[in-house]
Amino acid sequence: MTDRVTQAYARLREADRPEVFVHLRDEADVAAEYAESLRRGGELAGVLLAVKDNVDVAGLPTTAACPGYSYVPDADAAAVAALRAAGAVVVGKTNLDQFATGLVGTRSPYGAVRDARRPEYVSGGSSSGSAVAVALGIVDIAIGTDTAGSGRVPAAFQGIVGIKPTVGTVATTGVVPACAEYDCVTIFARDLPSAERAVAIMATAPGGRSWPADVPLAAAPGAALAVPRDLPELDERWRAAFAAAVEQARAAGFTIVEIDLDDFLAAARLLYDGALVAQRWDAVGEFVEAADYGDQETGLDPVVAGIVRGAARFSAVDLLRDRAKLAALRDRAMTVWGDCAALLVPTAPFHPTIAEVAADPVGVNSRLGTYTNFCNLFDLCGVAVPAGEVVESDGSTAQFGVTVLAPAGHDAVAADVAARLTGTPRDPSSPSWPEQAGAQAFPLIVFGAHLHDQPLAGQLTALGARWAGPVSTAPEYRMTALPTQPPKPAVVRCADGGASLEGERWVCSPAALGRFLAALPAPMGLGSVQLADGTWETGFVCGDDAASAAPDITAAGSWRTHLAAALV
């Protein structure tokens, strides 16, 4: 039973990455807990978990990569508690850019976290240790945090998946704040289904943001996908990699729409160059101000200290002005976004070496946030996925990644787009991760023109409905062909002479279902339909008078069979 634990600790030793973990639990303790996890069962039974060291794990020190800040919490952070309750086993606490301030993974007294494949390159930060622990196969999933890209940039550099949910969807209780208003708890995994399963569980923890009533549950098959018209900071090789990703999106059926990112990029600069950075001071400013730069026990990183101390120079008026500026930028940016389901961007514009970061720690870090810094400021959700490789000028190969961004609450859309981009198989009967996390969703049974390949299916996909596969009714229904445009069937329940009819299930939000019903023309309506398994779900029904006046096609058994016979 403990072979997985033995393999994990052996992998860490073989990889020679002592800087990945700030606190590594004793192997025997983890093995015992792992065996107990398998015995108890649970959705994550036997899953090994690493936790970024600004997120509390009961009984383990939380340092935020600053020894002098260390404390030992009595309780798990909300997200950790949810994963452990589902069976996940914590291996240890991972290294990070101190106080989650940075995108490089080098700003830590516990050592610069090196890239999993190219040790002379940075791992990406601030969730550096978490991403590398997953990439090396030491753990199955890892918790990160993301304020400016910390849950996405490391995912790109390590060739793994990073999900950054809508701000507040996962409770931040037990997380050392960076910029509390914009902080997100994130997850890393080697594949999208594992990441979705974990983030769904984390999002069930108390204290998270409620799902809106109109939450979309999928992207439409031919949805529009926005991409940047210009790509600042990318060289020719990285531009070519992104162009290939865009073509992959086109091949997956998306309509590509080029947009200008000027307002997005202007907002990105506000995060550190403007008064919004004052939240860094609010989080740890008093500690930093009192700390001694030269005190080894304190372990304060000078770059991080400079950023936090510099945040104290802003006034309340400065902050109000920058908030107003941010709101204006967001309004303009979302107007440019238009009706696109999502925005596809390079996760990072380049992959620097540790030496390059040391030579210009602030400048390189700022460039890395080009396509990430604006995300939480605009209340977007994001899914970072691998998208190939780039052969660098030195002959080494870098991992390339893209991020799918979507509006707040549209997490299922971002995940759906990411799945189609990466060719990840989807089981239509499986709910999206927001549904698993409590987003309200109602089934709708259809029989005719709203089947997924029929003319009116777009009315449902436009409302964010998710196709959930075929169904059959109880053997007590009949079907007639209504003389409408486009043609559609009427399905009615009958006392005798009925049959089991084939249909399909869609799933949609309560608001979407209400809008759909309000627009439904007579004689169609919604009512309860009994399925073959005896359950009842909402579906299309028709008045007896209209149904009786139309030709009976019950013998066909389905609308598609009827249409096929009519063409013969």
- Where does the pLDDT of residue 297 fall: very low under 50, low under 70, confident under 90, or very high at 90 and above? low
For residue 401, list its beta bridge partners: 386
163 close to 196: Cβ distance less than 8 angstroms: yes
CA distances 470 to 427, 492, 502, Å, are 12, 19, 7
- Calculate the average pLDDT of the chain: 95
For residue 7, give both structure tokens.
Answer: 């393999």
Residue matched to tokens 């600004």? 54
Does the pLDDT value for residue 328 go beyond 80? Answer: yes
pLDDT tens, position by position, 545-561? 888 889 999 999 999 99
- Residue 295: per-residue pLDDT: 59
Of all residues in the chain, the percent with pLDDT exceeding 70 is 98
pLDDT tens, position by position, 337-354? 999 999 999 999 999 999
47-56, 168-177, 307-316: least confidently modelled range: 307-316
Q: Cα-Cα-Cα-Cα dihedral of 43, 48, 54, 57, to 10°?
A: 70
pLDDT tens, position by position, 359-408? 999 999 999 999 999 999 999 999 999 999 999 988 999 999 999 999 99
- Residue 213: per-residue pLDDT: 95
Of all residues in the chain, the percent with pLDDT exceeding 90 is 85
Angle, CA 209 vertex, CA 203 and CA 212 arms, to 5°: 105
- Where does the pLDDT of residue 207 fall: very low under 50, low under 70, confident under 90, or very high at 90 and above? very high
- Where does the pLDDT of residue 495 fall: very low under 50, low under 70, confident under 90, or very high at 90 and above? confident
Q: Which amino acid is at 258?
A: E
- Residue 290: per-residue pLDDT: 83
Does the pLDDT value for residue 12 go beyond 70? Answer: yes
Q: For the chain, which residues make up each domain, given as ranges?
A: 3-434, 441-567
Buried b (16+ CB within 10 A) or exposed e, 232-242: ebbeeebeebb
Mean pLDDT of 462-473: 97
Look at 521 and 176; give whichever has higher pLDDT: 176
Q: What's the CA gap between 262 and 434, in Å, rounded?
A: 31
227 close to 343: Cβ distance less than 8 angstroms: yes
CATH no. for 3-434: 3.90.1300.10
Mean pLDDT of 523-535: 93
- Residue 293: per-residue pLDDT: 57
Does the pLDDT value for residue 508 go beyond 60? Answer: yes
Domain 441-567 class in CATH:
alpha beta
Does the pLDDT value for residue 294 go beyond 60? Answer: no
- Where does the pLDDT of residue 281 fall: very low under 50, low under 70, confident under 90, or very high at 90 and above? confident
pLDDT tens, position by position, 52-62? 999 999 999 99
For residue 456, give both structure tokens.
Answer: 């009116």
Does the pLDDT value for residue 263 go beyond 60? Answer: yes
Which residues are tagged catalytic? 52, 126, 150
- Where does the pLDDT of residue 119 fall: very low under 50, low under 70, confident under 90, or very high at 90 and above? very high
Mean pLDDT of 520-534: 91
- Where does the pLDDT of residue 520 fall: very low under 50, low under 70, confident under 90, or very high at 90 and above? confident
For residue 228, give both structure tokens.
Answer: 């940047």
Does the pLDDT value for residue 1 go beyond 60? Answer: no
Look at 394 and 82; give whichever has higher pLDDT: 82
- Residue 274: per-residue pLDDT: 85
Does the pLDDT value for residue 282 go beyond 90? Answer: no
- Residue 242: per-residue pLDDT: 98
- Residue 407: per-residue pLDDT: 98
472: Cα within 13 Å, side-chain hemisphere: 8
CA distances 409 to 139, 342, 347, 372, Å, are 29, 12, 20, 18
pLDDT tens, position by position, 153-186? 999 999 999 999 999 999 999 999 999 999 999 9
pLDDT tens, position by position, 212-253? 999 999 999 999 999 999 999 999 999 999 999 999 999 999
Look at 403 and 484; give whichever has higher pLDDT: 403
318 close to 266: Cβ distance less than 8 angstroms: no
Q: Return the closest-CA partner of residue 537 out of 528, 548, 550.
A: 528
375 close to 149: Cβ distance less than 8 angstroms: yes
- Where does the pLDDT of residue 81 fall: very low under 50, low under 70, confident under 90, or very high at 90 and above? very high
145-159, 263-277, 281-295: least confidently modelled range: 281-295
Q: What's the CA gap between 188 and 162, in Å, rounded?
A: 5
Q: What's the CA gap between 215 and 199, in Å, rounded?
A: 17
- Listing DSSP states for 269-320 in one string gives HHHHHSGGGHHHHHHHHHHHHHS-TT-TTT---HHHHHHHHHGGG--HHHHH
pLDDT tens, position by position, 414-433? 999 999 999 999 999 999 99
Question: 3-state SS of the chain: helix, strand, coil percent to 5?
Answer: 35, 20, 40
Buried b (16+ CB within 10 A) or exposed e, 41-76: ebebbbbbbbbbbbbbbeebbbbbbbbbbbeebeeb
